[in-house]
Amino acid sequence: VFNFAAGPATLPENVLLKAQSELYNWRGSGMSVMEMSHRGKEFLSIIQKAESDLRTLLNIPSEYSVLFLQGGATTQFAAIPLNLCTPQDNVDYVVTGSWGDKAFKEAQKYCKPKVIWSGKSEKYTKIPSFSDLDQSSNARYLHICANETIHGVEFKDYPTPKNGVLVADMSSNFCSKPVDVSRFGLIYAGAQKNVGPSGVTIVIIRKDLIGNAQGLTPVMLDYKIHDENDSLYNTPPCYGIYMCGLVFEDLVEQGGLKEVEKKNKKKAEILYNAIDESKGFFRCPVEKSVRSLMNVPFTLEKAELEAEFIKEAAKEKMVQLKGHRSVGGMRASIYNAMPLAGVEKLVAFMKDFQARHA
With beta carbons less than 8 A apart as the criterion, state whether 113 and 77 touch.
no
What is the amino acid identity at position 55?
A: R
Contact flag: residue 74 with ligand PLP (CB under 6 A) = yes
Give the CA distances from residue 227 to residues 219, 230, 231, 251, in Å, rounded to whole numbers and listed in that order. 12, 5, 6, 25
Shortest distance, position 19 Cβ to ligand PLP, whole Å: 20
Shortest distance, position 316 Cβ to ligand PLP, whole Å: 26
Catalytic residue among 26, 53, 92, 99: 99
Q: Which is nearer to ligand PLP, 236 or 274 (CB)?
A: 236
Active site residue 101: no
- Whats the size of the chain, residue-wise? 358
Candidates 62-70, 84-92, 165-173, 244-252: pick the segment binding ligand PLP (CB under 6 A).
Answer: 165-173
Active site residue 117: no
Catalytic residue among 112, 193, 267, 322: 193
Catalytic residue among 92, 169, 222, 227: 169
CA-based angle 305:299:148, to the nearest 5?
145
Contact flag: residue 7 with ligand PLP (CB under 6 A) = yes
Q: How far apart are CA 4 and CA 14, in angstroms?
A: 18
Contact flag: residue 172 with ligand PLP (CB under 6 A) = yes
Nearest to 250 by CA among 175, 191, 340, 180: 175
What is the amino acid identity at position 72?
A: G
Q: Residue 166, CB half-sphere, CA atoms under 13 Å: how many?
A: 17
Binding ligand PLP by CB under 6 A: which of 12, 72, 161, 236?
72
Those residues whose C-beta lies under 8 Å from the C-beta of residue 116, and which sit 6 or more positions away, are 92, 93, 94, 133, 134, 135, 136, 142
Binding ligand PLP by CB under 6 A: which of 54, 60, 73, 213?
73
With beta carbons less than 8 A apart as the criterion, state whether 112 and 136 touch.
no
Candidates 67-75, 212-220, 229-237, 252-260: pick the segment binding ligand PLP (CB under 6 A).
Answer: 67-75
Residues of this chain, 91-110, that bind ligand PLP according to CB under 6 A: 99
Which DSSP category does 297 fall into? E
Candidates 123-131, 164-172, 330-338, 347-355: pick the segment binding ligand PLP (CB under 6 A).
Answer: 164-172
Shortest distance, position 201 Cβ to ligand PLP, whole Å: 7
With beta carbons less than 8 A apart as the criterion, state whether 259 and 266 touch.
no
Active site residue 99: yes
Residues assigned a catalytic role: 99, 169, 193
The residues that touch ligand PLP, with contacts defined as CB under 6 A, are 7, 72-74, 99, 145, 149, 169, 171-172, 190, 198
